[in-house]
Amino acid sequence: MLIDPLKNWKSYNQLIEKINSNNGPIATYGIVDESIGHINYAINEHVKKPVLIVTYDEMKAKKIYEDIKKFNEENVELFENREVIFYKVDAISSERLVNRLKVLSRVIKGEPIIVVAHIEALLNKIMNPDIYGSHFICIDKEDTIDVDDLTNKFIQCGYEREHMVEAVGQFSIRGGIIDFFPPSSQNPYRIELFGDEIDSIRIFDIESQRSLELVDQAYISPVKEVLILDEYREAIIENLNLDLKNATKKLNKGSRVKERLEEKFLEYIEEIRERVSISNLDMIIPYIPDKYLGSLLDYFSNDTIVFIDEPKRIEERIRNTKEQFLLKYSELLQIGEVLSGHEKIRYEYDQIREKIEEKIAIVNSAILSIGNDLKPAEIVKFPTKTMQSFHNNMELLNEELNHYKYRGYKVIIFAGSEERAKGLQAALMDLGLVTSYVEDYEHEIKSSQIFISPGSINRGFEYPDIKFAAISHKEIFKSTKDSRRVKKKSKGEVLSFSDLKIGDYVVHENHGIGQYGGIEKLNIQGVIKDYLTINYRGNDKLYVPIDQMNLIQKYVGGEGTRPKVNKLSSSEWAKAKQRAKKAVEDMAKDLLELYAKRETQKGYAFSEDTVWQKQFEDSFPYQETDAQLRSIEEIKKDMEKPKPMDRLLCGDVGYGKTEVALRAAFKAIMDGKQVAFLVPTTILAQQHYNTMKERFCDFPVNIGMLSRFRTPKEQKATIEGLKKGLVDIVVGTHRLLSKDIEFKDLGLLIVDEEQRFGVKHKEALKKLKENVDVLTLSATPIPRTLHMSLIGIRDMSLIDEPPGERYPIETYVVEFNELMIREAILKEIERGGQVYFVYNRVENIDKIAAMLKKLVPEANIAIGHGQMSEKELENVMMDFINNKYNVLVCTTIIETGLDIPNVNTIIVYDADKMGLSQLYQLRGRVGRTNKVAYAYFTYEKDKVLTEVAEKRLRAIKDFTEFGSGFKIAMRDLEIRGAGNLLGVEQHGHIEAIGYDLYVKFLNETIKRLRGEKVEETIDTSIELSVDGYIPLNYIEDEEQKIEVYKKIAVIKNMEDYRELVDELIDRFGDIPKEVENLLDISYIKNTASRLNIKSISQSGNKIILEFNTLESISPNLVHFMASEYGKRIGFDLSKNPSFTYIYKKNLLSELKVVVEKINSFYQEEKNIN
């Protein structure tokens, strides 16, 4: 039904005919922007040829791409522009590069896809398709593999060898298992070898490292757009050397420009010669012989359709871009940053035009205007119209649809969701119009028929010639959200051991905090085992057997915390634990008492949702995340109960807490209640006030604001309105807590960032909270484990996923370079955006601002930091929000609270002095719209970095390139959040004993206080004469080893055992005997622990199972075991009760059966009782 009507369109058929005959360029005019995607989608479906759509600007390209995605998500790709960088870059985020390489791989495979690009993306020089094709390797399951040869291929294609594949562009080889992640695939591949033959090819999940499914083929594709190959390596060096000599011979010997040129480009020559990774390929590209390079156009066959959108605007864009490029290039040439050859870093438009002429070109303009481009052989007129807007007016929509029906139109309405489609059908039926609800696009549509589909398109359009109209939900309703759910990335648990490195702090439950010293293999009386070593104060060293790893956690107390290392066998650790336990108990008691008190209080039970509530929620212009929807439901359920709500809503800035709060507020207003929205700063009050005005504009909601930005007269009117019940919702700072504020009928109090209010204000807040529903918002994320612990004593909702459809933030790690900073700021200002420049030392911040003013005189610069008076800072921030300034030089005060969507570039000075979680949070301040955002993490040029700063910079680079370390950054942030939530005293205890142990104490305390049974876990000691360790030839990498040891240590049952066996075989191959022993020992130990068995030891062919107490042994158990084993088992039921079992052949497998029999006996006995 989407494209069949076009078959009767004379213009469309004429175009298809011209495409098939391919007699030269075709000019089209009259196609409105809204239907470019639809018409190209139809062409692609009918002729089954690749289509390349070229437009004049990145936003337009994205819109067309989004339009086509609505019709067929699988068959369209966006080829983004690669920005040319003239500076040395230490690391750059890879999302854009990966997407571009994915497009190349699909095109070279000959897939008849649609690619949308803006013109500048075609000017980029990339490797020619012959080179790409020769490095695009298909591996079939029938092939044989030479591992050395394959390793060389990976390296040639730009892959990096790692112990574990975690990102695109990495490969690893572990025995007969080869993992790699090409940009052409959604998931990485795993090849398992048997000798040199392929046993299987699988794709696996990056988070769990587990295989997902078997496949017949795997593809290795290049991970760089340009490869430096031996056949032209010397030619590059020669060309670069020649250009460098020509540039330097004109300069004086001591000239700084000469020194800079030689320093920079001799380093590049060295990198090429030494075959190391090139720090910036843009510097090399102009020196690669032309025959080895190409454009995206070269990848397409000559029967590709190239749709040129608005050629005159493309020419104008190219002219402007070239002018800007030459201006920047000449500046850099004068100071020795580039050579003359870099002028040819991209193709000229004439060269691109020649390549287009080789394809089937369609030149499209809204009105007939060909430009200087391609002279058309044919001109085809396409009369199309944009769709009118109906502004939520059903009568107007009904009238227009009846008009369409009367004229014999075929109409499809894309409602955006099943619920909305059925609601719309019912509403039109009430107005007397019959429509058909259709699930898919396969139905044939006839004249005068109106179909309503749950699908979505971005904007509607009309084709009068064939009487066809498509209407999107965005024309009918004000909302712009679609039914397509945001694909939620698996969050993955923050593993406390997967990132353990030598020197890290660890917590041993019995011995306290020490530093991890690595794994050591010890041979004790002929038995070989691995031990974790922990170094304590005074050169003490503890060897921890692998089967006791459950007693160890990596120390986590918040970023930058250096805990006090304990001394072995001193009482300080026991005291620290005791203090923490006592504090936890006091806090848990208080929380439980509060919770119990609230359960008995009488509050107001709000009504169920009204029709207006539904309309209000539907008018939200974005797609809610699952976490938002879940939180809204939890809050509404609380509000509908007769007891007062007291719920905490946690989530990072920009994750959508305000919308959740406004839905709760609207619900309260619908019941005639008043709402108070208390915020810590005047600016937040203003931002929330603006949001409310926008969200409530279609509903009879009276909004007030109390802050110093309101005149005394306005404040007086608001106060009167609150008293008389005329103001429905008021947002304000602590002014709301003043004695002169009275509400006629307050029903809901929303508090934003409560921890930022002072003691006096908190007391006043307590009074205001009495018997009203309270929703508290916090912008600091908290650990999910803490959230789970507090369920039942603190009502909490967690928004732990960002909104979808955000573009990745282009991130650079780079030496501070004034010209680059100028360029970054100007680029943002020129597109109407704003910039944060983060400098974290207040004493020099004025100097930095002066330097930037001199560097970028075009910018309006403001300064903001925490040592300014509250009023002064608020004035600066308000002016910045209102766009009076476009650059804010500030300290890390922007880490919290503010959400300014127009700021899309952040530059961090001295990033090496900041922690990863801080940088992660700073980077999150930009990229909140559908614009591409930029983050520059800079460090001082030529500075000798300390070991700590070097490590930090390395972590920042890895994080930028591969996203690694994200979990650690999140963990640090969440621990900070835990401290905010629980208060200063509790945070001190988290730092004293580590987060994991703190949460363990909290869980046990809450259970005990609620009268639930807290299982006393016995740490069963096992002394058996069997080797238990992971051999080097099975898992070489120590971090992976620890991760596996940790998993082995927590095997609770046979299901865990089998699951881990499957994982080990999947990831590392067949399990060696020593590892199998470890799995058995762990399973036996954890089962024995639940059975109150204190120790299991071996004496010759006897195994002694010693129980904790005589009460641990059921009288019937002795009888049962005697009947099962006869003389092979003996019993000692004295003070140290034990069973002695004589094994025959296989110690571990027989012992497993023994403990399983005891376990099943108790299970059966429990079931009978």
Q: Which residue has the higher pLDDT, 207 or 1060?
A: 1060
Segment 378-397, tens digit of pLDDT:
899 999 999 998 887 889 99
| Average pLDDT score over residue span 1058-1074 | 95
Taking the C-alpha atoms of residue 437 and residue 422, their distance in angstroms, rounded to an integer, is 7
Say yes or no: 630 and 772 in one domain.
yes
Summarize the confidence of residues 854-878 as an average pLDDT: 91
Does one domain contain both 905 and 853?
yes
Per-residue confidence band for 251, with pLDDT thresholds at 50, 70 and 90: confident
Q: What is the pLDDT of residues 979-1027, one digit of tens each?
A: 777 877 888 888 888 888 888 898 889 888 888 887 778 889 999 999 9
pLDDT for residue 491 is more than 60 = no
| Same domain, yes or no: 617 and 761 | yes
Dist. CA 609–CA 194, nearest whole Å: 62
The confidence score (pLDDT) of residue 481 equals 60
Q: Output the domain CATH number for residue 940.
A: 3.40.50.300
Q: What is the largest CA-CA distance in the chain?
A: 105
Contact 667, 639 (CB under 8 A): yes
| Residues 308 and 408 occupy one common structural domain | no
Average pLDDT over residues 239-250: 92
DSSP, res 346:
B
Residue 949: pLDDT over 80: no
- The verdict on 1144 and 1087 lying in the same domain is yes
Q: Which structural domain, as residue segments, surrounds residue 99?
A: 13-103+114-124+295-381
Average pLDDT over residues 12-17: 93
**Residue 544 domain-assigned?**
no
Q: What is the pLDDT of residue 921?
A: 79
688 lies in the same domain as 781: yes
Specify the number of domains making up the chain.
7
Whether 79 is covered by a domain: the verdict is yes
Q: What sign results for the dihedral spanned by CA atoms 411, 413, 419, 424?
A: negative
pTM for the model stands at: 0.85
pLDDT at 874: 86
Of the two residues 931 and 1095, the one the predictor is more confident about is 1095
**Bigger pLDDT: 914 vs 675:** 675
> CA-based Rg of the chain, rounded to a whole angstrom?
34
- In the predicted model, what is the mean pLDDT of residues 307-330? 92
What percent of the chain stands above pLDDT 90? 61
Give yes or no for a contact between 14 and 380, defined as CB atoms under 8 angstroms apart: yes
Residue 791: the pLDDT is 73
Is residue 836 within 8 A of residue 926, CB to CB? The reply is yes
| Predicted confidence (pLDDT) at residue 805 exceeds the cutoff of 70 | no
Phi–psi pair at 942, nearest 5 degrees: 60, 15
Of the candidates 1112, 1146, 1142, 1120, which has an alpha carbon nearest to the alpha carbon of residue 1130? 1142
Closest CA to 1096 of 1018, 1028, 1024: 1024
> Can you give the pLDDT at residue 373?
58
CA separation for the pair 633, 797 (Å, rounded): 10
575 lies in a domain? no
Q: What is the pLDDT of residue 405?
A: 94
348 in a structural domain? yes
State the pLDDT at residue 358: 92
Distance CA 528, CA 1026 (A): 8
**Rounded to whole angstroms, how far apart are CA atoms 181 and 167?**
7
Contact between 784 and 800 under an 8 Å Cβ cutoff? The reply is yes
Same domain, 1072 and 1149: yes
Helix (H) or strand (E) holding 620: none
Residue 161 and residue 200 in one domain: yes
Q: Which CATH number is 207's domain given? A: 3.30.2060.10
* CATH number of the domain that residue 1138 is part of: 3.90.1150.50
pLDDT of residue 991: 85
251 and 286 both lie in a single domain: yes
- For 544-603, the pLDDT digits (tens) are 998 888 889 888 876 666 888 999 988 999 999 999 999 999 988 988 888 888 788 888
Pairing relationship of beta strands 89-92 and 810-815 according to DSSP bridges: antiparallel
Boundary of a domain, candidates 201, 220, 239:
220
* CATH number of the domain where residue 421 is located: 3.40.50.11140
Stretch 735-760: mean pLDDT, rounded?
Answer: 87
Range of 729-733, 789-793, 916-920, 971-975 with top mean pLDDT? 729-733
* DSSP H or E stretch at residue 890: strand 887-890
Q: What's the whole-number average pLDDT of the chain?
A: 89
pLDDT digits (tens, 9 = 90+) for 36-67: 999 999 999 999 999 999 999 999 999 999 99
Establish if 1015 belongs to a structural domain. no
CA pair distance 499, 514, nearest whole angstrom: 16
Q: Classify residue 859: in a domain, yes or no.
A: yes
The yes-or-no verdict on residue 604 having pLDDT over 80 is yes
Cα 515 from Cα 538, distance rounded (Å): 12
Q: What is the band of 848 on the pLDDT scale with cuts at 50, 70, 90?
A: very high
**C-alpha to C-alpha distance for 799 and 660, rounded to whole angstroms:** 10
75 & 20 share domain: yes
1070 and 1127 inside one domain: yes
> What does the pLDDT look like over 132-176, one tens digit per residue?
999 999 999 999 999 999 999 999 999 999 999 989 999 999 989
Q: Does residue 852 share a domain with residue 908?
A: yes
**pLDDT value of residue 495:** 43
pLDDT tens per residue, range 635-668: 999 999 999 998 999 887 778 899 999 999 999 9
Please say which residue of 292, 322, 341 terminates a domain. Answer: 292
Residue 75 pLDDT class (50, 70, 90 cuts): very high
More confident residue, 301 or 480: 301
pLDDT > 70 fraction of the chain, expressed in percent and rounded: 95
Of residues 965 and 655, more confidently modeled: 655
* Residue 895 pLDDT > 60: no
- Among 318, 347, 381, the domain boundary falls at 381
Alpha-carbon span 389 to 393, nearest angstrom: 9
The continuous run of DSSP H or E covering 95 comes out as helix 95-108
On whether the CB atoms of residues 197 and 214 are closer than 8 A, the answer is no
User: Does residue 482 belong to any structural domain of this protein?
Assistant: no
Domain annotation covers residue 675: yes
